[in-house]
Amino acid sequence: MSSVFPAFLFFVLAAPAIAKAQQGDPFDKAAALLPADAQTIVNRLGSLHQLPDGAWKMHSGDLAHGEDPNLDDSSWDAIPVNTKAATGAVWFRQTYQVPDSLNGYDLTGARIWFQFHAAANGPLPEILYFNGRRVAMGDDLEPIVLFDNARPGDKAVVAVKLLETVDQKIFGGATLRIDFPENRPNPEDLREELLSAALLLPSLAPGDTSKEDTLETAIHDVDVSALDARDQGRFDSSLIAAEAQLEALKPLISQATFHEVGNSHIDAAWLWPWTETVDVVKRTFGTALQLMNEYPGYTYTQSAAAYNDWLKQKYPEMNAQIKQRIKEGRWEVVGGMWVEPDLNMPDGESLVRQLLVGKRWYLQNYGVDVRIGWNPDSFGYNWQLPQIYKKSGVDYFVTQKMSWNDTNKLPFKLFWWESPDGSKVLTYFPHDYGNTTLNPVRLADDLAVARERSPGLLDLMDLYGVGDHGGGPTRAMLDEGFRRVELNHVNPRYEFGTAQSWFSTVETQVAPDSPTWNYQSIAKGYKPPDAVAGKISIPTWDSELYFEYHRGVFTTQANHKHNMRTAEEEVLDAEKWSSIAWALPAQEPFTYPGTELTEDWKKVLFNQFHDLAAGSGIGVIYKDAQKDYDVVRWSTNEISGDALKTIAEQVNTRGEGVPVLVMNPLGWERSGDVSVTLQLPEPAGAVDIVDSAGGVTEPEDASIDPKTGVAHLTFHVSSVPALGYKLIRVVA
């Protein structure tokens, strides 16, 4: 493992916090737009939607029956949030009790959900117990009902066991979210509507103070004094009045749409080997298929053909279900590449092959073409990528990593990305790829920012679902989203669909003219395009997308990078010689090894996955990669040897001395030094190098065994033709 690896552990942990800091908390941003008295009311509403987390205790190390409600945990350590724990097993406990009221609100009949929070820079398996009963086990657990039809005084002993992890654990406390009784108005729904409106009104109705007045009137209709008096009926009535007042803003706000795209970012190899990723893919895809049975409106979007190839080979029944969902338009294939690779270090031909191999697999196995480039997590994007995409039949590109830049920030959302040859792809920066909530305040904040950067944009594409180690959308996310659809409150419309449907809609709305920017011009001060009535105004970016935050990726794991480059050359050379041999009129026709070469390419392409290429993974994944490269090296050596033998058989080598064929696999004429070992017909004291034109030179270096006639020679060869050869004779 490289000595700079700890730096990568740091950036993986720090990145989400940095992204959040750059964006700011949307609830705080929305509240800051309101007058102080309105903020007080909204904050009081906000104090009702979850129980405060209590004091936790921790026991480091494994323990028999740490979940037992009668266990004496008085000797356990009392811990605050952000406490760090070892990589081994750790227990956490505390007892919750439903209070008589929550800041004046009667919780009788409410449902209270529990979710534990911890991080370990990778998969974090946990076991959750309520009153000694195991209620959940696994990674990325969804919220679990702790109290149903709650009554004041209800108690529960909660115990959490965290299992072995790659890195140290960081304790994050717990969230106890409240579902209010369905027969009463929901104060949290109202708060989110109010804050969403506060974020969107300045954009949707700039300068219209009447809309802001309506919002403030709705806020002041909320009677927080009723909470102080513990008058639940009066408080509920005030919520109904506030909602009725807010309805006046519905025609304006409902012009906008939250277009929700379920997805899961799955790292092919990172803090786990690729063999574990096979199981991650199975579980993630299986969850997506199951949720499609439960939620008829749910759609799922996924990249990386290699993952589908695993399913085809290992789980054909699941693969058949995916094919059916693709036909129904509910399972969307994006990316078009074999994996989501690094997009700086592989050569251009490898990126073309990512698309060729990936798109061909999808076409042959699923009957679909792919038009959306999808690589949200690569560590930078070369300037030729739009050209490669466009000439491969890809018209759109999705990524989000550039928002983490710490020096040159790109204030874009939707824009044209243009290569030096003029090829353009319509590019979109979503707000992250692993959003785990469909909260309208978060989405409204993202839409408000999007409209600043792309004036006229009303439809926001949002990616949601657990990622990195797979997972995808959960029932909790879908329940939240489809509940918003059914409520039809004063929010933008919620729409569940595919990325392609969103792109197909917005590309028809883009204004025809777009100003061009690059790093030099943007440093002088960026100004969003002027609004065009009825159109979306977007810029054109005429440069690479240089990612600044993950530095060091071009030097870490140098042996892997060497293998990446030499493997590219080896497979390409084998292809070239095989193509020439196949085209020659030999007595025994050469059979082109297409299947073998494709399998070699798949190994090369897989190991260009962005964390593998960047050197940011654990040591075992580079050992696995070396095995792949060894196979490629053996395979291409055999293929090239067979092809060169066929070619050599067509060359007239009769004449004096030992013939040497010097081959040039490049697409241009080349000169250079050649080193060979050959057997002379008989021992000699010295040799001459004779070219095809009869020119004679001496070797630059020669070692000849006087007894055996074995010669080790180095000599210069001039002007070997492109994709051709030059015949040299070694004469005593």
Residue 365 neighbours by CB under 8 Å, 6+ apart: 308, 312, 323
Pull the structure tokens for residue 107.
């919780």
Q: Look at residues 403, 417, 399, 410 and name the one whose alpha carbon lies nearest to residue 334.
A: 399
Residue 63 neighbours by CB under 8 Å, 6+ apart: 89, 91
What's the chain's length in residues? 732
Query: Is 679:709 a contact under the CB 8 Å cutoff?
Result: yes
Query: How would you write 630-654 as a 3-class SS string?
Result: HHHHHHHHHHHHHHHHHHHCCCCCC
**DSSP per position, 235-290:** HHHHHHHHHHHHGGGHHHHTTSEEEEEEE--B-SSSSS-HHHHHHHHHHHHHHHHH
Query: Is 338:467 a contact under the CB 8 Å cutoff?
Result: no
Place of tokens 């890195």: 167
CA distance 444 to 439: 9
CA distance 537 to 528: 8
Beta strands 126-130; 155-162: pairing state: antiparallel
Place of tokens 């534990």: 116
Q: Look at residues 130, 165, 140, 153 and name the one whose alpha carbon lies nearest to residue 9.
A: 165
Place of tokens 């350590």: 77
Cα-only R_g, the chain:
32
What is the SS3 assignment for 126?
strand
- Helices and strands: H and E segment counts in the chain: 21, 29
Beta strands 56-60; 77-79: pairing state: antiparallel
Give the burial class of 110: count Cβ atoms within 10 A of its Cβ; 0-12 exposed, 13-18 middle, 19 or more buried. buried
C-alpha distances in angstroms, 293 versus 192, 289, 296, 400, 728? 30, 7, 7, 30, 70
For the annotated catalytic residues, the residue numbers are 377
State the DSSP code for 381.
B
Pull the structure tokens for residue 250.
């519905």
CA distance 618 to 612: 9
CA distance 489 to 484: 7
**DSSP per position, 148-177:** SS--TT-EEEEEEEE---SS-EEEEEEEEE
Rounded to the nearest 10°, the torsion over CA 671, 673, 678, 683 is 110
State the DSSP code for 577.
H
**DSSP per position, 53-102:** P--EEEEES--TTTT-TT---TTSEEE-TT-EE-SS-EEEEEEEE--S-B
CA distance 351 to 492: 39
Query: Is 68:91 a contact under the CB 8 Å cutoff?
Result: no
Query: Is 124:118 a contact under the CB 8 Å cutoff?
Result: yes
CA distance 200 to 186: 22
CA distance 360 to 408: 37
Query: Is 456:506 a contact under the CB 8 Å cutoff?
Result: no
